[in-house]
Amino acid sequence: MRAILQRVSEAQVRVDGACVGSCGKGLLVLLGVGQEDTEQDAQRLWDKICRLRIFADEHGKTNLSLADVGGEVLVVSQFTLFADCRKGNRPSFAHAASAEQGNRLYEHFCACAQADVSHVGKGVFGAHMQVSLVNDGPFTVSLDTEHLSRRN
């Protein structure tokens, strides 16, 4: 699984002009699911995200986690995180999960988040979405379960 995390003061996702998900201060998570990903990967990725100390403390140091600041989350599926651009000029998405697997693991990841966070907004899997955000910092982090240790 791959995730792009953006620390935000607010974010929202729209489908056909209607807001379908949003969050206040917290994280926008753009989530990509690969063919080899499992429920354990989703849990491990969420565990890492919710414990990341990327929010400022009273001294301006990034020492606080999402839980420490009572942050919210907006999760948007984004299979394009598995784009392979090594050959030619058109990205290949051959390593992205099938729609069925991707949706199942996206929903599982969201359920993991809902167990720890009071507000989890969601996009609509497979829909054409417009995402807007106010990036706080800006502060953006990229995570890939291939590169995470088994101990978070």
Helix or strand (DSSP H, E) at 137: strand 130-144
Nearest by Cα to 43 from 116, 100, 92: 116
In which residue are the tokens 């955000």 written?
Answer: 133
3-state DSSP percent of the chain in helix, strand and coil, to 5? 25, 40, 35
Task: Sort strands 26-32 and 72-77 into parallel, antiparallel or unpaired.
Answer: parallel
The catalytic residues are 78-80
138: phi then psi, degrees, rounded to nearest 5: -65, 150
